[in-house]
């Protein structure tokens, strides 16, 4: 596979604070998962790749070019930031169209491109509504639409699945896979291992600004075998969902929360992730969120960096 991003002894400091320390790696075409806990340096790496920050030391090359102050290169990159920020008062369509215009399109092209991008993320029905009225998952999809709108070759997505419910999460994962099949390079950052595992086998693991591991996700996942993971599911029908999940062999324990939601322990979060959307849809169970406390990924980092859990 062709190398799209090359990092060579890349470092970034924020004054006294180290954001990224001496990272050397190559990111190939296809989907790559950038894994790390909050504050590990994922966003710093992505900001360097999109030319928002200048390296303190070392070099980063995207498509063989330095991204800093390189506006021509930016037209080949689509970036979905982690932050939940929008200009107030805009509808989803206006927001995406405005950013398409800023990508150099004419108004007519921007309208067409915005409608296409919004359709890709399944937001056509809601595109005329103000973003302020959107749910977290809808806002997340709108941010992804603005990253897609100028049809970039490289998509850089910072925690794109956070705040989405399992059904939307499955749809977005399918979308990223389709983009990769169409020849785009997709980089997805996450602190949830099984999210990334559902998309790709190729990962970079970052911890405290340093590259801990890169390569095949199975090697990392093998470290998790035998460990149970905790998953919180936000739903008003926790009891009904618990009844449906209880017979599954990968469910270790189930507990109904005070707000009606469900907290469970599973031995196979990836399988749960695959099966849960179907269970929710078939039984008409609403679900607002599926949060995965990162206990286990922290354990992996602890193991890899030889720090206690």
Partner 1 sequence: MLVYLLLALPPLVGVITVNTAPISDPMTTAQIYWGLTLLMMLTASLPLAAMLSCGPLVSNEVSDGTLVYLLTRRLSRQSVLLAKFLGAVSSLVAVAVLSQTFLFLAFVLGQYAMTGGELGAALLGGFVVVAVGTVVFAAVFNMISMIFRKPLSVGVGFLIVTEWIFLTLPVGIRRLTVGYHLRSLLNGITDSPALGELLTERAGDGLWPAGASGAVLVAIVAVALTTSAIIMMCREFTQAREEER
**CA dist., res. 242 & res. 139, Å (int):** 29
If one asks whether residue 102 binds partner 1 (CB under 8 A), the answer comes out as yes
The residue assigned the tokens 């705040």 is 163
Nearer residue to partner 1 within complex by CB, 179 or 290: 179
* Closer residue to partner 1 in complex, CB, 84/309: 84
Q: Which of 11, 32, 103, 200 binds partner 1 (CB under 8 A)?
A: 103
Contact residue for partner 1 among 11, 21, 50, 266 (CB under 8 A): 50
Which window, 21-29, 58-66, 84-92, 259-267, contacts partner 1 (CB under 8 A)?
A: 84-92
Among 63, 86, 116, 250, binds partner 1 (CB under 8 A): 86
Candidates 75-83, 164-172, 196-204, 295-303 — which segment interacts with partner 1 by CB under 8 A?
75-83
Contact 207, 37 (CB under 8 A): yes
What distance in Å separates the CA atoms of residue 72 and residue 65, rounded to the nearest whole number?
A: 10
- Given the rule CB under 8 A, which of 85-93, 224-232, 240-248, 262-270 is the region that contacts partner 1? 85-93
Q: What are phi and psi of 202, to 5 degrees?
A: -95, 120
Q: Which of 26, 52, 109, 210 forms a contact with partner 1 (CB under 8 A)?
A: 52
Residue with tokens 């990508």: 103
- H/E run at residue 77: strand 77-80
Q: Are 136 and 291 in contact (CB under 8 A)?
A: no
CB of 309 to partner 1, least distance (A): 26
225 binds partner 1 (CB under 8 A): no
Query: Per rule CB under 8 A, is residue 81 in the interface with partner 1?
Result: yes
How far is residue 140 from each of residues 79, 136, 179, 184, 210, measured CA to CA in Å? 12, 6, 17, 20, 28
Element (H, E) at 10: strand 3-14
Q: Does 172 bind partner 1 (CB under 8 A)?
A: no
Please give the Cα distance from 81 to 297 (Å, whole number): 22
* Alpha carbon distance 68, 88 (integer Å): 29
104 near partner 1 (CB under 8 A): yes
Considering only residues 109 through 148, tell me which ones interact with partner 1, judged by CB under 8 A: 146
Q: Is 237 in the site for partner 1 (CB under 8 A)?
A: no
Measured CA to CA, the distance from residue 140 to residue 179 in angstroms comes to: 17
Closest Cα partner for 147 from 182, 183, 107, 188?
Answer: 188
Count of residues that bind partner 1 according to CB under 8 A: 29
Count the neighbouring beta carbons within 10 Å of the beta carbon of residue 17: 8
Q: Which of 44, 120, 185, 189 binds partner 1 (CB under 8 A)?
A: 44
Residue from 53, 180, 224, 231 touching partner 1 (CB under 8 A): that is: 53
Residues that bind partner 1 (CB under 8 A): 14-15, 19, 43-44, 47, 50-54, 69, 71-72, 74-75, 77, 79, 81, 83-87, 99, 102-104, 146
């Amino acid at each position: 596979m062709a190398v799209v991003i090359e990092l060579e002894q890349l470092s970034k400091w924020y004054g006294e604070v180290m954001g990224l320390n001496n990272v050397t790696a190559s990111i190939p075409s296809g989907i790559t998962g950038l894994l790390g806990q909050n504050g590990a340096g994922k966003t710093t790496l992505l900001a360097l790749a999109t030319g928002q920050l200048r390296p303190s030391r070392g070099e980063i090359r995207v498509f063989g070019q330095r991204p800093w102050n390189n506006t021509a290169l930016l037209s080949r990159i689509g970036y979905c930031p982690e932050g939940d920020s929008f200009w107030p008062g805009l509808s989803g369509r206006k927001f995406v169209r405005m950013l398409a215009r800023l990508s150099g399109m004419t108004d007519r092209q921007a309208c067409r491109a915005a409608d296409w991008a919004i359709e890709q993320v399944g937001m056509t029905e809601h595109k005329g509504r103000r973003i302020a009225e959107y749910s977290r998952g809808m806002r997340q999809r709108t941010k992804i639409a603005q990253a897609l709108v100028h049809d970039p070759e490289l998509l850089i997505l910072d925690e794109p699945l956070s705040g989405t419910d399992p059904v939307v999460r499955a749809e977005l994962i399918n979308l990223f896979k389709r983009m990769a099949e169409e020849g785009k390079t997709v980089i997805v950052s996450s602190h949830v291992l099984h999210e990334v595992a559902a998309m790709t086998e190729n990962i970079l693991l970052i911890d405290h600004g340093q590259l801990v591991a890169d390569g095949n996700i199975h090697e990392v996942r093998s470290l998790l075998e035998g460990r149970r993971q905790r998953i919180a599911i936000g739903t008003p029908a926790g009891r009904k969902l618990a009844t449906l999940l209880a017979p599954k062999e990968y469910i270790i324990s189930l507990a109904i929360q005070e707000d009606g939601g469900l907290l469970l322990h599973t031995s196979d979060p990836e399988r749960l992730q695959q099966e849960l959307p179907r269970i929710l849809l078939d039984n008409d169970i609403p679900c607002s969120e599926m949060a995965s406390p990162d206990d286990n990924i922290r354990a992996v980092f602890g193991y890899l960096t030889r720090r206690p859990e």
